[in-house]
């Protein structure tokens, strides 16, 4: 039993306000990339987690991974004792603005709900685990608002290619939000659908990631990555995702994105391909 946990990409990210408790209110168009982690389960024995994969070493020191927290929250909600041996194939960089931990937690909830035969409010449980977890449980393009708990249908996304690049520098989300300066942005207004990548890029180009300047101040390498992405042949738009340091570039096709990714420095984490399609097995 296994499940794919795709990377979450913020095509834009506006900070539109701040609650009295200090949490920022967001407006973001979220899509999912064909890059991701994978979680598998042997449904027997005591609850345990083994972390493997090229990016797994960064999580080895954690005593309580989000995947285990998700498993325990689900078991508690169902009134059962958690069980099963989980294996996390970690392919996405940690603390990188593409929701790797959130995607893993969301995938764990979905996988174990099926394996344990549990009917539970997965979206409600997801909100207790982190702002990005609900949209990752849903696993489809969405307009994400509030502190991540308000999800509305996204415009129809055309077929596009995407390159992801990370300079292998971790950027903790709270640190980036704390460093952000300036006022608040307006919510974005989108059509019901885009006919092609060029039309979508034209609308996205008028928007921004309100955390980008703060991230660059903390991690100048972000600016280097953005410049490299903009210089790639065929790149239509480049921007930072989430709180960084991963950045993306959009292309006309998945094939063009795969070729472009090979141009980037070999010591960066990099990936090129198409968007995740939830109805297609990966």
pLDDT one-digit tens code per residue, 189-242: 999 999 999 999 999 999 999 999 999 999 999 999 999 999 999 999 999 999
Q: Under 8 Å CB-to-CB from 9, ≥6 apart: which residues?
A: 30, 31, 32, 33, 98, 162, 164, 241, 248
**Fold topology of 2-146:** Ribosomal Protein S5; domain 2 (3.30.230)
- Is 70 exceeded by the pLDDT of residue 149? yes
* 241-261: pLDDT as tens digits: 999 999 999 999 999 999 999
What whole-number distance in Å separates Cα of residue 107 and Cα of residue 39? Answer: 7
Report DSSP letters for 224-241, one per residue.
HHHHHHHTSTT--EEEE-
DSSP 8-state symbol, 270: E
Does the domain at 155-274 match CATH 3.30.70.890? Answer given as yes
Chain-wide mean pLDDT for the chain? 95
Distance from C-alpha of 9 to C-alpha of 247, rounded to nearest angstrom: 9
**Residue scoring higher pLDDT (277 or 5):** 5
Looking at residue 58, what is its pLDDT? Answer: 81
pLDDT of 281 reads 47
Beta bridge partners of residue 273, listed in sequence order: 162
Among 91-95, 243-247, 263-267, 271-275, the range scoring the smallest mean pLDDT is 91-95
8 is catalytic: yes
Q: For residue 196, indicate whether it is catalytic.
A: no
Tens digit of pLDDT for each residue in 52-73?
999 998 887 666 789 999 999 9
Exactly one of 8, 37, 90, 104 is catalytic; name it.
Answer: 8
Higher-confidence residue of 190 and 277: namely 190
Element (H, E) at 25: strand 24-46
Position 61 scores a pLDDT of 60
**pLDDT at res. 64:** 73
For the entire predicted model, the pTM comes to 0.95
Q: What are phi and psi of 74, to 5 degrees?
A: -65, -45
Domain boundaries, the chain: 2-146, 155-274
Mean pLDDT of 19-26: 94
Catalytic residue among 27, 104, 132, 210: 132
């Amino acid at each position: 039993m296994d499940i794919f946990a795709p990377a979450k990409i913020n095509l834009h990210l506006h900070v539109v306000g701040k609650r009295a408790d200090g949490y920022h209110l967001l407006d973001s168009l979220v899509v999912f990339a064909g890059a991701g982690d994978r979680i598998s389960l042997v449904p027997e024995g005591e609850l345990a987690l083994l972390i493997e994969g090229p990016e797994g070493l960064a999580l080895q020191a954690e005593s309580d991974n989000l995947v285990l927290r998700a498993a325990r929250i689900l078991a508690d909600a169902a009134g059962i004792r958690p069980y099963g041996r989980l294996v996390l194939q970690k392919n996405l960089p940690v603390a990188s603005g593409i929701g790797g931990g959130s995607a893993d937690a969301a995938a764990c909830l979905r996988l174990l709900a099926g394996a344990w035969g549990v009917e539970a409010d997965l979206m409600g449980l997801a909100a207790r685990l982190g702002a990005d977890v609900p949209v990752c449980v849903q696993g489809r393009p969405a307009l994400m608002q509030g502190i991540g708990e308000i999800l509305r249908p996204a415009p129809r996304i055309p077929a596009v290619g995407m390159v992801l690049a990370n300079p292998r520098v971790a950027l903790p989300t709270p640190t980036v939000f704390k460093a952000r300066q300036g006022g608040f942005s307006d919510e974005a207004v989108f059509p019901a659908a885009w006919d092609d990548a060029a039309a979508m890029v034209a609308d996205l180009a008028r928007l921004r990631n309100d955390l980008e300047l703060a991230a660059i101040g903390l991690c100048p390498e972000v600016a280097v990555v953005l410049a490299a992405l903009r210089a790639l042949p065929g790149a239509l738009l480049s921007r930072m995702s989430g709180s960084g340091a991963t950045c993306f570039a959009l292309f006309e096709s998945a094939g063009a994105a795969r070729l472009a990714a090979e141009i980037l420095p070999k010591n960066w984490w990099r990936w090129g391909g198409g968007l995740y399609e939830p109805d297609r097995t990966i």
